[in-house]
Amino acid sequence: MNTIGNILAAWIITVASVLSVQAGEPAEPSAWRAGTAKAKIPPEQPFWQAGFASRTKPAEGTLHDLWIKVLAIEDSQKQKAIVLTSDILGFPKSLSDSVCDQVEKQYGVPRSRILLSSSHTHSGPVLSGSLVTVYPMDEKQWAIADKYTRNLEQTIVRAVGEAMAGMAPATLAVGTGTCGLAGNRRNNKESEAAKMIAEKRPFKGPSDHSVPVLAVRGADDRLLAVLFLYACHNSALCDYNYSGDYAGFAQIALEERHPETLAMFAMGCGADQNVFPRRTVELCQENGKELADSVDAVLAKPMKAVAPSLRAEFEAIDLPFDGELKMERLQADAAKTDHTGRWAKAMIQRIADLKAQGKELPKSYPAYPIQVWRLGADQLWIVLGGEVVVDHALSLKAKHGADAWVFGYANDVMSYIPSARVWKEGGYESGAFNVYGIAAERWCPDIETRIAEAVQRLVQRVRGNP
């Protein structure tokens, strides 16, 4: 073959390789390295469940096991990252900070490359440092919660080490499906949901029905792990049994269908979304199966291969409060016997303690976590703390690409995070500060803009345009 022929043949091979990756065929097995680990996190003894202020006693049993699951990945530049999913209501900042400090010290993974996601199950154990005025727990119950939280931290750090020790050549691929479980709970009455579904009437209000899926396969093409997101409150059950709720059943279904696979659920921006209908174990199982079906539908089709590179950025921004707590209101609320009364009493005491020190209540939340990853050439993961309403995901996808993944409930869950629309409308999802124990009236009116601007900064950095 002449020189021109050799050049042409090489060009054809190169183009064919690029097209095959774009079509979703697997990348080189040695491109990525990945490892997985999981650990059960059942309480040693039953105590209070997190999520509902209406519960009046500790848990009585377990519907199915609770887990933390870890995916460790390493790109072609030997840069490691950790993705953790968990059957807990949310990571309090104290726990998140401690876990990340230990992982960085022991394994050399920087904060920007550690993603701590919670499923927001309302049937997991209470953690210390979170929603401390919501539950009518006595000192004995809080001591159990404190011990459980310390053990959970140690379990997480060990599991991260196991996942990293087991890393081997792997491929990563992504795809997106849909699932219609979620309905906006601000715009639809639960009592009318079953009739609306039977009559095939769509739910009102914004929702995000996308199901982003990451498939991790070994060198032998065996499915090692599947990570998937969905934006819907994980609160279908309100009984006295520990469980991962509908997301737990979805993971169980996937692992039964793929016995050697680790199924990992991460919550999207589902703060104002509920599964309809709900409330029974049977419905919860059906909903979990429906979500698992959506994931399997993605796995059954060609998926987009992810090139072996990962860039990560992390920033903790200052989020101001708006308005001041009025002593008159606190004193009136303190007469109540529910969680509002406990919060008001705690705030009155806090104000008195600060005044004795010559200090005032904070004017902002100083460390709202925002994380952005770029996997391969263009796959964006936007990771937000708190209970984020769906508007954030919809607007961020509109700006940064429909294929962007937008996580909520990650790294620190300190309160609800409203959009500009929800802030103006008010209501529970506009903050719920008296649930989370925040000593303020509400968030600043431009909270959505502040978060979006911070995301923009981090996106520019991971795309190489600081």
> What pLDDT was estimated at residue 466?
59
7 domain-assigned:
no
- Are 240 and 104 found together in one domain? yes
Instruction: Spell out the residues 6+ positions from residue 275 whose beta carbon is closer than 8 angstroms to its own.
Output: 181, 182, 183, 232, 233, 236, 246, 287
- Whether residue 294 contacts residue 179, with contact meaning beta carbons closer than 8 Å, is answered with yes
CB 217 within 8 A of CB 224: yes
Question: Measuring CA to CA, which residue among 339, 352, 369 is closest to residue 454?
Answer: 369
Are 333 and 388 found together in one domain? no
Here the tokens at position 68 are 């933390």
- Share the mean pLDDT of the chain: 91
Confidence of residue 168 (pLDDT cuts 50, 70, 90): very high
Altogether, the residues listed in the chain come to a count of 466
* Gap between the Cα atoms of 34 and 171, Å rounded: 8
pLDDT over threshold 90, residue 27: no
Q: Is residue 12 part of a domain?
A: no
Say whether both 80 and 137 belong to one domain.
yes
Query: Over 70: is that where the pLDDT of 21 sits?
Result: no
Into how many domains does the chain fold?
Answer: 2
Residue type, 342: R
220-231 mean pLDDT: 97
Residue type, 98: S
pLDDT score, position 207: 95
Distance of CA 92 to the CA centre of its chain: 13
CA 43 to chain centre: 22
Q: Omega into 362 within 30° of 0, i.e. cis? A: no
- Please report how the helices 245-257 and 281-299 are oriented relative to each other, as an axis angle in degrees rounded to 10: 50
Q: In 211-273, which residue ranges form alpha helices assigned H by DSSP?
A: 245-257
**Any idea which of 11-15, 130-134, 446-450 has the lowest mean pLDDT?**
11-15
Per-residue confidence (pLDDT) for residue 12, from 0 to 100: 37
226 and 344 in a single domain? The answer is no
Per-position DSSP letters for 86-114, written without gaps between them: ESSS---HHHHHHHHHHHHHHH---GGGE
Which residues lie closer than 8 Å to 142 by C-beta, 6 or more apart? 128
- Same-domain pairing of 214 and 290: yes
Same domain, 309 and 265: yes
CA distance 226 to 215: 5
- pLDDT of 465 strictly over 90: no
Are residues 376 and 349 located together in one domain of the fold? no
Give the integer Cα–Cα distance in Å for 211 and 223: 18
Residue 153: partners with Cβ closer than 8 Å, 6 or more residues away: 95, 98, 99, 102
Question: What was the pLDDT predicted at 279?
Answer: 87
Residue 9 maps to a domain: no
One domain for residues 332 and 426? no
Answer whether 194's CB lies under 8 Å from 173's CB.
Answer: no
Residue 175 lies in a domain: yes
Q: Which two tokens stand for residue 397?
A: 């996808």
pLDDT-derived band at 25 (thresholds 50, 70, 90) equals: very low
Task: Give the pLDDT band (50/70/90) at residue 23.
Answer: very low
* CA dist list (Å): 415 to 17, 152, 276: 47, 22, 24
Assess if residue 2 is contained within a domain.
no
Tell me: do 336 and 241 sit in the same domain: no
Choose the weakest-confidence range: 66-75, 88-97, 194-203.
Answer: 194-203
Residue 256 forms part of a structural domain: yes
Q: What is the mean pLDDT of residues 30-45?
A: 91
What proportion of the chain, given as a percentage, has pLDDT over 90? 81
φ and ψ at residue 275, rounded to 5 degrees: -80, 130
Q: In the structure, what pLDDT confidence band is assigned to residue 10 with cuts at 50, 70 and 90?
A: very low
Helix (H) or strand (E) holding 273: strand 273-275
Average pLDDT over residues 427-448: 92
Looking at the structure, tell me whether residues 141 and 57 fall in a common domain: yes
- In this structure, are 238 and 146 located in the same domain? yes
Question: Is residue 141 located within the same domain as residue 287?
Answer: yes
Check residues 269 and 54 and name the one with the higher pLDDT.
269
Identity (one letter) of the amino acid at 393? A
Say whether pLDDT at 390 is over 60. yes
Mean pLDDT is lowest, of 14-18, 127-131, 311-315, for 14-18
pLDDT at residue 69 above 50? yes
Measure the CA–CA gap between 217 and 171, rounded to whole angstroms.
Answer: 5
Q: Which is more confidently placed, 181 or 278?
A: 181
Q: What digits encode the pLDDT tens for the residues 151-163?
A: 999 999 999 999 9
Classify residue 3: in a domain, yes or no.
no
Distance of CA 157 to the CA centre of its chain: 18
Tell me what the mean pLDDT of segment 10-18 comes to: 39
Q: Which residues contact 406 (CB under 8 A, 6 or more apart)?
A: 231, 268, 269, 382, 384, 388, 392, 393, 396, 397
Distance (Å, rounded) from C-alpha 424 to C-alpha 431? 11
**Running DSSP on this structure, what letter comes out for residue 117?**
B
- pLDDT recorded at residue 219: 87
How does residue 192 score in pLDDT terms, banded at 50, 70 and 90? Answer: confident
Q: Flag whether 11 is in a domain.
A: no
Residue 29 has pLDDT above 70, yes or no: no
* b/e burial code for range 311-343 (CB count within 10 A of at least 16 → b): bbbbbbbebbbeeebeeeebeebbeeeebbbbb
Residue ranges making up the domain that contains 334: 325-356
pLDDT of residue 361: 94
